Copies of this chain bind each other. A is one copy, B any other.
Amino acid sequence: MVERLIQSGHEVRVSDLYAMQWKATLDADDFSHIEPGAHFDPVTDSLRAVEAGTQRDDVAAEQAKLLWADTVIFQFPMWWYTMPAILKGWIDRVYAYGFAYGVGEHSDTHWGDRFGQGVMSGKRAMLVVTTGGWASHYSARGINGPMEDLLFPIHHGVLYYPGFDVLPPYVVYRTGKVDAPAYSKITEELGQRLDTLWTTEPIPFRPQNFGDYDIPALTLRDEIAPGESGFAVHTAPKKNENAR
C-alpha cells in the first residue's frame, strides 16, 4: 500500500501501532495535571489537556498526523467482530475531547460539530480489513452479521463523527488461506482502490445538523425513510437508486 501510494505521488506517513508499542489504555497516566489518587474523568481531563497543551507527546503526534493528512487508511485484522484493542486504544486516546468530540455549539438547530462536521471535514478515510472467516459468514444472512453492519459503528461512529468522508471498505476474507494468485488479485484490487481514493464516492451518510434529524432527540425525522429503522436509515439512498 505504501509503495503504491508513493508511486502515485502521495506522501505517506505510517503509524504502525505494534512497532510503536502504542499505549492502548486511556488512563490517568495520560494527564500530567492529575494528582495521585485524584478522580480520573476521561472527558474533563481530556479537555483540560487539550486546552492547556499538555497532552502526551504520543497523542499529540498522532493528532498532528491526522491534521496533516488528506486521506487516512486504517488497516487491521478483525478480532472478535471489531478492531484489536491496540487500535481501539488509539481511537480512545487520540480522539480527545475538544479535538474529535465536544466541539461546536449546542443549540436547538446544531448539536455539536459531528456526524458530517468536525476537525476531519474535507478529509477522507477508508478501512482495510482482514478476516479469518469466509465472505458468506459475513453476508446479509451470514451468522457473523453483515460486514457493513459490523463496520457501521466504525464508519459512522468513529470516522464520519469527526467529519471524515468515508469510502467503502476493502475487505479480505479467509486471509489465512491467501495463496500467491489470491495475493496478486488482492494487490491489484486494493491498488485500484488506492488509485481512486479521490474519485470513489463516499458512503452517503446523512449529516446531523442539516435538517434530517430532530434536535436534540437526534432521531431521523418521520418523513425520511418512514417506518424504517436500524443502521441503514442513516445512509441516504444512492443517487441512482429509487427512493426506498
Q: Which residues of A contact B (CB under 8 A)?
A: 18, 22, 24-27, 42-43, 79-86, 88-89, 91-92, 95, 115, 132, 134, 136-137, 139-146, 149-150, 152-154, 156-158, 176, 208, 213, 216-220, 228-234
Q: A80-B95, A143-B220, A145-B153 are in contact. Are A85 and B25 (CB under 8 A)?
A: yes
Residues in B with CB closer than 8 Å to A42 are: 79
Contact of A91 among B22, B80, B140 (CB under 8 A): B80
Q: Which residue of B lies closest to A145 (CB)?
A: B231
Are B158 and A218 in contact, CB atoms less than 8 angstroms apart? no
Q: A85-B24, A88-B85 are in contact. Are A145 and B139 (CB under 8 A)?
A: no
CA gap between A40 and B144 in the complex, in Å: 26
Which of A42, A83, A218, A234 is packed against the most chain B CB atoms within 10 Å? A218
Are A230 and B146 in contact, CB atoms less than 8 angstroms apart? yes
CB-based closest 4 A-B pairs: A85-B89, A140-B229, A81-B157, A81-B153
Contact of A142 among B88, B153, B218, B228 (CB under 8 A): B218
> How often does this chain occur in the complex, in copies?
2
CA gap between A86 and B28 in the complex, in Å: 13
Which of A89, A141, A156, A217 is packed against the most chain B CB atoms within 10 Å? A141
Residues in B with CB closer than 8 Å to A140 are: 229-230
Which of A27, A85, A140, A158 is packed against the most chain B CB atoms within 10 Å? A85
CA gap between A65 and B123 in the complex, in Å: 45
Residues in B with CB closer than 8 Å to A228 are: 141
Are A220 and B86 in contact, CB atoms less than 8 angstroms apart? no
Are B229 and A141 in contact, CB atoms less than 8 angstroms apart? yes
Residues in B with CB closer than 8 Å to A156 are: 145
Contact of A18 among B27, B88, B218 (CB under 8 A): B27
